[in-house]
Amino acid sequence: MAASASSTILKLRTSSTAASGRPSLSTTFGVTTLSFRRRRDQRHRRFVVLALDAKPTILVAEKLGAAGVNLLKEFANVDCSYNLTPEELCTKISLCDALIVRSGTKVSREVFESSAGRLKVVGRAGVGIDNVDLAAATEHGCLVVNAPTANTVAAAEHGIALLTAMSRNIAQADASVKAGKWERSKYTGVSLVGKTLAVMGFGKVGSEVSRRAKGLGMHVIAHDPYAPADRARAIGVELVSFDEAISSADFISLHMPLTASTSKILNDENFAKMKKGVRIVNVARGGVIDEEALVKALDAGIVAQAALDVFTVEPPAKDSKLIQHENVTATPHLGASTMEAQEGVAIEIAEAVVGALKGELAATAVNAPMVPAEVLTELKPFVALAEKLGRLAVQLVAGGSGVKNVKVTYASARAPDDLDTRLLRAMIIKGLIEPISSVFVNLVNADFTAKQRGLRITEERVILDGSPESPLELIQVQISNVESKFASAISDSGEIKVEGRVKDGIPHLTKTGSFEVDVSLEGSLILCRQVQVDQPGMIGKVGSILAEENVNVSFMSVGRIAPRKQAVMAIGVDEEPTKQSLKKIGEIPAVEEFVYLKL
Ligand SMILES: NC(=O)C1=CN([C@@H]2O[C@H](COP(=O)(O)OP(=O)(O)OC[C@H]3O[C@@H](n4cnc5c(N)ncnc54)[C@H](O)[C@@H]3O)[C@@H](O)[C@H]2O)C=CC1
Ligand SMILES: O=C(O)C(=O)COP(=O)(O)O
């Protein structure tokens, strides 16, 4: 993304140290950094972080309702490019922050690899996400969101349309009349009333199909291993086993997602269990049927008719035996294609993608935890605390130690199941990994990245007495089986330990090793241990070394084991001290050890 003169400054963070000299610009992942070369010591220092040309770019790769496109345009540069080849998509994607697709675009691993880290969100304007490589998205830290509700009714109505059209031979009869024929007896149909319909997958669409089929006087049974029985009861549907469903049905309607376990679930073996003359409707995914087996079952008369909206390969081959079969009614994946559904889906996905680009947690995230807004508001300061504790803990590890085992303890007066720790764990992982690697960690890829690096995170909940008003009292991060570059960070039980709390909405470090301290975690931190006595003059000595080069000290705190015994001093600084000043601090005779930690 090119920085332009008309660019917008979104975020401005300045140092208290006066900058001088020529500024230079560099851009990484759409965020441009303006750096000033300081004349005094010729070091590069970053003072200002800007999102220049602040509008992100969203590629809309399939037709999306106008209301959705307009919403996107209020926030981003929108590139509507349809019918891209896989190669064209891979080329374009490196210039895009978000991609919106329907079912016709394969968002493969190559797409994520080609994006070189820029793609942050994939929005699926619909339900099924089987065309998106979710594992690759997660590995690349890319959020996938879908629009799960706006096309439910449209898909259900299409299922019912296919069911009724199939049972009365509407499509075949229409073609015959248009061909100048009048074949009344050939197209005698079958009635629906009193017949058994097996709904396979009793989710949103399956439930709506069931409701409507009951209105047509059908006896509806359903199979869904994960559906709640009370929802089925409320609609007057009986949940049954897979075998019972397929063997007792006159009509079978498919409404489950395409997954490894549903792929080709209707196969030779299962067609053989069906009632002869069964009729099948599929508005779910072509891949749930073994299409060759269906052709055989149609030829053998096991399946009398099939009405299909979806196919294993879309569009199917023109000479496909299945499509050409006289007992098959086919539509070109039209389930979600009503004016109303497309408008609704477009708005639903545009809001989700824009929200995700703004950094909000998405309610329709497919590959990340969904955290309700009210929970997020409560947890926000603890999210910051979690990341900072992770950062501190990992920087305390001595080089070559290799971090493997991290234990996180959450202490709270609330019941254990009242705290969703996924977000906190993700931020601790971010804090642990980012300072020691070039990997970008977010809520999407945190667990994956930790696993990939062999980082074992165990979590413990400790219940405290007290008021459950706050979701958490403290978070403790311990790294075991490592050496520390700051021996005082090692607790009595031998692990690096940092502990923090939130005070007045601000994260504080409250313990390091066995030393209690109290410093707000806002700038960077110097920790030093004094030999034997906590001399009153120490604070002044360190302060004046830092003042010599205009490093602003924001706070100091001394944690002692006992008066005039060993003490750890924590000093918060707004700027990074030079190596020389850190060396001078180390040379103060009373300082036994010290460490500088970036937050
Ligand atoms: N043809 C089209 O244009 C459209 C197709 N669809 C497809 O319809 C399907 C259902 O969509 P929704 O109802 O919105 O999703 P949903 O997630 O609400 O429902 C899917 C249901 O399938 C169940 N299920 C999962 N594995 C199963 C198994 N092995 N056996 C039986 N049930 C199983 C789940 O428990 C869930 O209740 C999806 O595949 C979706 O992609 C949805 C909208 C439009
Ligand atoms: O939402 C779904 O799962 C669908 O199958 C609809 O697909 P479409 O967005 O019409 O390509």
pLDDT recorded at residue 470: 87
- Whose tokens are 């031998």? That residue is 494
Rounded Cα gap, residues 156 and 150, in angstroms: 12
Q: Which whole number is the average pLDDT over 224-250? A: 94
pLDDT band at 300 (very low <50, low <70, confident <90, very high): very high
Residue 183 annotated in active site: no
pLDDT band at 561 (very low <50, low <70, confident <90, very high): low
Which-ligand-closest: CA of 104?
2
Q: Which of ligand 2's atoms lies nearest the C-alpha of 285?
A: 5
Rounded Cα gap, residues 55 and 57, in angstroms: 7
| Closest CA relative to residue 479, chosen from 561, 391, 384 | 391
Helix (H) or strand (E) holding 146: strand 143-146
490-514 per-residue burial string, b: 16 or more CB within 10 A, e: under 16: bbeeebbbbbbbbeeeebbbbbbbb
Q: Hey, which bits of 20-142 come out as E strands?
A: 23-28, 31-37, 44-50, 57-60, 77-80, 98-101, 121-124
Largest CA distance in the chain: 107
Residue 285 annotated in active site: yes
Residues in the chain: 599
Task: State the average pLDDT for the chain.
Answer: 87
502-560 pLDDT, tens digit each = 999 999 999 999 888 898 898 899 998 877 655 667 778 888 898 888 888 887 777 76
Contact 409, 475 (CB under 8 A): yes
Q: Which of ligand 1's atoms lies nearest the C-alpha of 202?
A: 37
Please state whether beta strands 524-530 and 591-597 pair in parallel, antiparallel, or not at all (unpaired).
antiparallel
Q: Which of ligand 1's atoms lies nearest the C-alpha of 151?
A: 43
- Whose tokens are 């096309």? That residue is 151
Q: Which of 264-278, 538-552, 567-581 has the highest average model confidence (pLDDT)?
A: 264-278
Burial of 276: CB neighbours in 10 Å, binned 0-12, 13-18, 19+: exposed
182-223 pLDDT, tens digit each = 999 999 999 999 999 999 999 999 999 999 999 999 999 999
83, 101, 103: residue to mutate for ligand 2 pocket, most atoms within 8 A of CB: 103
Name the H helices within 28-84. Answer: 66-73
Residue 113 annotated in active site: no
Gyration radius of the chain's alpha carbons: 31
Give backbone dihedrals phi and psi of 444, rounded to 5 degrees, phi first: -75, -50
351, two tokens: 């809001």
Which-ligand-closest: CA of 206?
1
DSSP letter string over 449-508?
HHHHTT-EEEEEEEE-SS-TTSS-SEEEEEEES--BSSGGGB-TTSSEEEEEEEETTEEE
Rounded Cα gap, residues 133 and 131, in angstroms: 7
125, two tokens: 């304007």
- Enumerate residues 6+ apart whose C-beta is below 8 A from 442: 141, 143, 426, 430
Nearest residue by C-alpha to atom 41 in ligand 1:
128
Q: Which whole number is the average pLDDT over 573-584? A: 88
Contact 482, 455 (CB under 8 A): no
pLDDT recorded at residue 513: 92
Please state whether beta strands 328-330 and 303-308 pair in parallel, antiparallel, or not at all (unpaired).
parallel
* pLDDT > 70: percent of the chain: 88
381-431 pLDDT, tens digit each = 999 999 999 999 999 998 766 789 999 999 999 887 778 888 899 999 999
82-139 pLDDT, tens digit each = 999 999 999 999 999 999 999 999 999 999 999 999 999 999 999 999 999 999 999 9
- pLDDT value at 566 more than 50: yes
CA distances, 135 to each of 29, 109, 123 (Å): 22, 8, 15
